[in-house]
Structure 1
Amino acid sequence: MTDKIKFEHLGLSQRVLDAIYKKGFEEPSPIQALTIPVMLRNDINIIAQAQTGTGKTAAFGLPLIEMITPNERSVQALIITPTRELAIQVSEEIGSFKGNSGIQVIPIYGGQSIDQQLRRLKKGVHIVVGTPGRVIDHIKRKTLNLKDVEYLILDEADEMLNMGFIEDMEEIMSHTNPHKRTLLFSATMPLRIKALASKYMGDYEFITVK
């Protein structure tokens, strides 16, 4: 389906396209070709079922770079991942797309100096990528303000469920702006993930890649 689709067909700016081609990407993966236009063109929530390794970070990361407002020094996007390794990986990949936009992306996770994270947060960041426990820690400390979050992304939601983070995900969602967009990515769709979506996401577009 995507053999004739190019990144320039998806509605991305030339600045972002330049960053994509600099990384050596040539054609979008199926999840990218399906998700990027939906994310760019409307305000609906998205549930995407896709395996790890299908390019899903770029599927949400590229549109985020387009939609963040660099001049507003507040957290506009929060990405939750099950592990610190994935938080670092996602943060680095999104950072590689930003070019000279001025967008600030940081990972926050347990095992890293919280003072270092506090210094970065105080300077003003646009995109936070974090593990559930450390995000909740910052919420309780009032060092992570989520009132301006416009995009909440739950990455590998089924893995977070398997690791016992479902209540943490719910707590985080309850602290975010009710008018935000939510994107949930998961390799499988267990009943508790469907229940989470039903409770917090309202209407959504379902995207699946085999």
Structure 2
Amino acid sequence: MLYSELKCSPEILQAVERMGFTEMTEVQEKAIPVMMAGKDVIAKAPTGTGKTCAFGIPIIERINPESNKPQAVILAPTRELAQQIAEELTELAHFLPKVRIVCVYGGANIQRQAEKLKKGCQIVVATPGRLMDHMHHKNIDVSAVTSIVLDEADEMLNMGFYKDVRRIIDSMKARKSLCMFSATISREV
């Protein structure tokens, strides 16, 4: 399926074209419409198949850019993956200047991250431990978060983040969808 056939905003289609993508991968073709309908998704697809676009497009499409409260949280197991996801989401939102994405992860200045969160954003990309820190310090209001994505869910849980992830999910009372994307999915996940 071609991206041009996707029922989404012209700004997203323009961004996808700018990124050099024309045809969807299998995971994108299967996950995007389901997520756009607001349903939960568990997707297993090899690394490099465009999982970030598969969840990024529906996330960006469904947020309200007029609100400064986070509406979507994407959890990643490592700082490097969180940064990579945030960069790709920023590219997808290139023609939507009101959409703000903040990336928070351990090993970086927590105060600077807190300032970015206080300025407002609609999407937060985070590692579980650092998101818990920001929630504990009341740097982030998760009351309007309706979508949660666990990227590389298997790896995150193998690294011992199960309790943190569970706590984070349980704290987001407005949650309407929970999606998991991973290169491998174990029975436990």
1:30 aligns with 2:4: no
Contact 2:25 2:50 in 1 (8 A): yes
Partner of 1:133: 129
**Superposition pairs for residues 103-182 of structure 1, below 5 Å?**
103-182=99-178
In structure 2, stretches of 5+ residues that fail to align are none
Structure 2 residue identity aligned to 1:44: K
Q: Is the 8 A contact 2:146 2:174 kept in 1?
A: no
Contact 1:109 1:131 (C-alpha < 8 Å) held by counterparts: yes
**Is the Cα–Cα contact under 8 Å of residues 148 and 177 in structure 2 kept in the other structure?**
yes
Q: 1:82 corresponds to which letter in structure 2? A: P
Is the 1:35–1:60 Cα contact (8 Å) retained in structure 2?
yes
Residue of structure 2 in register with 1:9 after alignment? 5
Aligned counterpart, 1:100: 95
Instruction: Flag as ranges the 4+ runs of structure 1 deviating above 3 A.
Output: none
The answer to whether the 8 Å contact 2:75/2:149 transfers is yes
1:31-64 alpha-carbon deviations (Å, 9 max, x no partner): 1111111111x22211111122110000010111
Aligned to 1:192, the other structure's residue is in SS state coil
Identity over the aligned pairs, expressed in percent?
A: 43
Cα separation, 1, equivalents of 2:147 and 2:80 = 22
Post-superposition Cα deviations, 1:11-49, rounded to whole Å, max 9, x if no partner, equal 122111111111111211111111111111x22211111
Q: Distance between the aligned counterparts of 1:175 and 1:154, measured in 2?
A: 15
- Equivalent-residue separation in structure 2 for 1:100 and 1:185 (angstroms): 26
* 1:67 matches 2:75: no
Distance 1:30 1:12 in 2: 18
For residues 103-145 of structure 1, what are the alpha-carbon distances to aligned partners after superposition, in whole Å with 9 as ceiling and x for unaligned? Answer: 0001100011011101101100110000010011111111111
Letter in 2 for 1:152: I
For the aligned residue pairs, the C-alpha RMSD in angstroms reads 1.1
Separation of aligned partners in 1, 2:94 and 2:110: 27
Distance 2:49 2:12 in 1: 20
Q: For residue 95 of structure 1, report the CA deviation from its aligned partner.
A: 0.3
> For residues 47 and 140 of structure 2, what CA distance do their matches in structure 1 show?
28
Larger radius of gyration between Structure 1 and Structure 2: 1
- d(CA) in 2 for partners of 1:64, 1:179: 13
Q: CA deviation at 1:188?
A: 2.3
* Inter-partner Cα distance in structure 2 for 1:43 and 1:6: 22
Number of residue-to-residue matches in the alignment: 188
Unaligned runs of 5+ in 1: 194-210
